[in-house]
Structure 1
Amino acid sequence: MSNGKGSASPSEMDPQDLPDVPAFQNEFTRDFLTSTEPVREGYYPFEAKSGKFTMDFPGDMNIVERSYNKSSKNDSEFLTISHTDESLDVFTNIQLKYYGFMSDVESTKDGLSAKRNEELQFQSKNIEFEGQNIEVADYTDGINPGFATLIWNDNNENIQIFTSMICGDNLSSDECSKLVEDEKERVLNIFQSIKLTQNEGE
């Protein structure tokens, strides 16, 4: 397989030669993927079109083309990541927004609370990148479970994420709760892989 650097990138390859997963079989999504070699099982290297962040992208999800937007100055980028199979026991939708500017952390968290119309209680999580922070807050209001995430670095770049999860009608409340917790852990691992590229020795 190509490593996406030496020869053809995934976007230039014949779809029949790509991994048989939704991320590569979707033309718009694979344009963000830099290699067919997984960074870990089921996840592939992603680079934002702004060039401002990278992450481990789940092979079973796609970027929704109609929702995508990037500023001409590359100081903001919006994308929606979701499952394509709506028959899954838990269907996840992720709205991710990158901003190259931030007034201050507390005001930004207040803004996220305002968007949810509830007082979000953020908690810090581990992240391996120096000069970078991540905090998450579970939703308590609304019909669907989910959580908000704020990632920022010392250069006042930030990524604001809203994640919602919808359980299938065939699941009991207890089954839904268990699967949602598992899915939340999976998604949080994706977010913890996000690296703001301004951290790279500038």
Structure 2
Amino acid sequence: MRLWFLYVIVGALIFAGGCTMKKEVEPMEWPKTPAFQDEDTRQMLDSTKEVQEGYYLYTSKTGGYTMLWPVDAKLDSYDNKGDTYEKIILSANSMVDNYFYEIRTTFDNSAPESYIDNFLSNLSESLQYTGEYKEIKVNNFSIYFAKKKSLIETSDGRQYTIYHYFSYIRDNQTNQGFEYTYAINCSDDERIKECKINESEQEERALMLMKSISLKKVYIEDE
């Protein structure tokens, strides 16, 4: 017999006072945020209410996790393979405040613990990273975290820096794994606002987003 049990690893996402479901709100009353004004993105979100200032809640179509979704970010790409795999790419940009960031997440509910080194190796290869990972323990899961800066030169000779913050998040009790990449950059174009990125603030934000992941399902198979 196969049974599904629900549990919450972290308490970062608690609804205080309930939430307002989308179907209860008229279109003209939808929040004037990039996330809710975009049709594809709006369909991904649980509620019109921010669960934390600047963030909505996203509940995975796999049923396996929830995560924070920035109010200024739109859905770029989505891939789902039932209840075992889901990949999402979302991004946001502002010419006024001069920033662009992208978040890539991949959930895998069939990842044996013995494969951790393989997952980290693949993550490093995708980002051309050669350093080590810092293990951060949060309740019942571990975050293998790293960061890097990449200098990019455009075809017209301008240069800018991309800041990457990335991790492999591992549930210590199940086969659940979660890959999270947060990258941000701004332009040095003199026609727009000066490029300023506070590295420590961005690292703090990236870690907050990673720690907010709530893995919810445990698959148990009885003989």
Tell me which interval the TM-score lies in, with the shorter structure as reference length.
0.7 to 0.9
In the alignment, which residue of structure 1 is the partner of 2:8?
Answer: none
Confirm or deny: 8 A CA contact 2:174 2:219 kept in the other structure: no
**C-alpha separation in 1, matches of 2:220 and 2:110:** 19
In the alignment, which residue of structure 1 is the partner of 2:88?
Answer: 79
Gapped regions of structure 2 (runs ≥ 5): 1-17, 153-161
Confirm or deny: 8 A CA contact 1:23 1:29 kept in the other structure: yes
In the alignment, which residue of structure 2 is the partner of 1:56?
Answer: 68
TM-score of the superposed pair, with normalisation by structure 2 = 0.73
Match of 2:78 among 68, 72, 77: 68
In the alignment, which residue of structure 1 is the partner of 2:181?
Answer: 162
In the alignment, which residue of structure 1 is the partner of 2:51?
Answer: 39
Residues 53, 181 of structure 1: CA spacing in aligned structure 2 closer, same or farther, 3 A cutoff? same
In the alignment, which residue of structure 1 is the partner of 2:166?
Answer: 148
CA offsets 1:134-188 (integer angstroms, 9 cap, x no match) = 12111255532212211110212111122221112148xxx85643432332232
Match of 2:133 among 118, 122, 128: 122
**C-alpha separation in 1, matches of 2:207 and 2:218:** 20
Identify which range, 132-141 or 149-158, moves more after superposition.
Answer: 132-141
Confirm or deny: 8 A CA contact 1:165 1:180 kept in the other structure: no
**1:91 is matched by which residue type in structure 2?**
F
CA-based RMSD of the aligned residues comes to 2.8
What displacement does 1:31 show?
Answer: 1.7
Residues 107, 177 of structure 1: CA spacing in aligned structure 2 closer, same or farther, 3 A cutoff? farther
**C-alpha separation in 2, matches of 1:142 and 1:131:** 36
Confirm or deny: 8 A CA contact 1:146 1:163 kept in the other structure: yes
**C-alpha separation in 2, matches of 1:19 and 1:164:** 26
What displacement does 1:25 show?
Answer: 1.3
**C-alpha separation in 2, matches of 1:117 and 1:167:** 21
Q: Secondary structure at the match of 1:139?
A: strand
Q: Which has the higher contact order (CA 8 A, sep 6+)?
A: 2
Gapped regions of structure 1 (runs ≥ 5): none
CA offsets 1:111-153 (integer angstroms, 9 cap, x no match) = 21122233232112353xx322212111255532212211110
Residues 193, 114 of structure 1: CA spacing in aligned structure 2 closer, same or farther, 3 A cutoff? same
TM-score of the superposed pair, with normalisation by structure 1 = 0.80
Misfit runs of 4+, over 6 Å: none
Residues 51, 142 of structure 1: CA spacing in aligned structure 2 closer, same or farther, 3 A cutoff? farther
In the alignment, which residue of structure 1 is the partner of 2:102?
Answer: 93
**C-alpha separation in 2, matches of 1:3 and 1:81:** 23
Match of 1:184 among 191, 194, 203: 203
Q: Secondary structure at the match of 1:28?
A: helix
In the alignment, which residue of structure 1 is the partner of 2:216?
Answer: 197
Identity of aligned residues (%): 25
Residues 196, 145 of structure 1: CA spacing in aligned structure 2 closer, same or farther, 3 A cutoff? same
Query: Is 2:33 the counterpart of 1:21?
Result: yes
Confirm or deny: 8 A CA contact 2:105 2:180 kept in the other structure: yes
